[in-house]
């Protein structure tokens, strides 16, 4: 199995697991951003994970925006959209998938 197939599997996992927690929150509270942020930073451990994800998202955006020009990776918008709609757990493996496909094309002389 090629690494790009693992990345696609991680995209699925990275979407299903976070949404398994977010959808019940939405069903119970709607899109209550104040409550969402209150619970995200409810204690130091929750804040640790929340801040880790926020910084990881920032790093992902910088990496995608810089690397898309360097390697001319198409559809660079998709991982950024995935990051906004789900999080790093979708955006990162999706970016790695597109990057791997592009690097394979470059190695094989197809682009």
Tokens of 105: 């094309």
Instruction: Report, in this order, helix, strand and coil percent for the chain, each rounded to 5.
Output: 85, 0, 15
Query: Does residue 55 contact residue 88 with C-beta atoms inside 8 Å?
Result: no
Per-residue model confidence as pLDDT tens for the chain (111 residues):
899 999 999 999 999 999 999 999 999 999 999 999 999 999 999 999 999 999 999 999 999 999 999 988 889 999 999 999 999 999 999 999 999 999 999 998 876
Give the count of alpha carbons within 13 A of 3, CB side only: 11
Gap between the Cα atoms of 7 and 94, Å rounded: 7
| The pLDDT value given to residue 75 | 93
| The pLDDT value given to residue 110 | 74
Q: Is 91 helix (H, G, I), strand (E, B) or coil?
A: helix
């Amino acid at each position: 199995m090629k690494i790009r197939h693992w990345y696609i599997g991680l995209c699925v996992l990275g979407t299903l697991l976070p949404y398994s927690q977010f959808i019940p929150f939405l069903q119970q509270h709607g899109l209550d951003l104040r409550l969402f942020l209150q619970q995200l930073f409810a204690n130091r451990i929750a804040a640790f994970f929340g801040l880790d994800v926020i910084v990881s998202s920032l790093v992902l955006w910088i990496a995608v925006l810089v690397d898309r020009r360097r390697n001319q990776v198409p559809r660079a918008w998709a991982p950024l959209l995935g990051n906004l709609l789900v999080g790093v757990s979708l955006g990162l493996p999706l970016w790695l998938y597109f990057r791997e496909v592009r690097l394979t094309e470059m190695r094989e002389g197809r682009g």
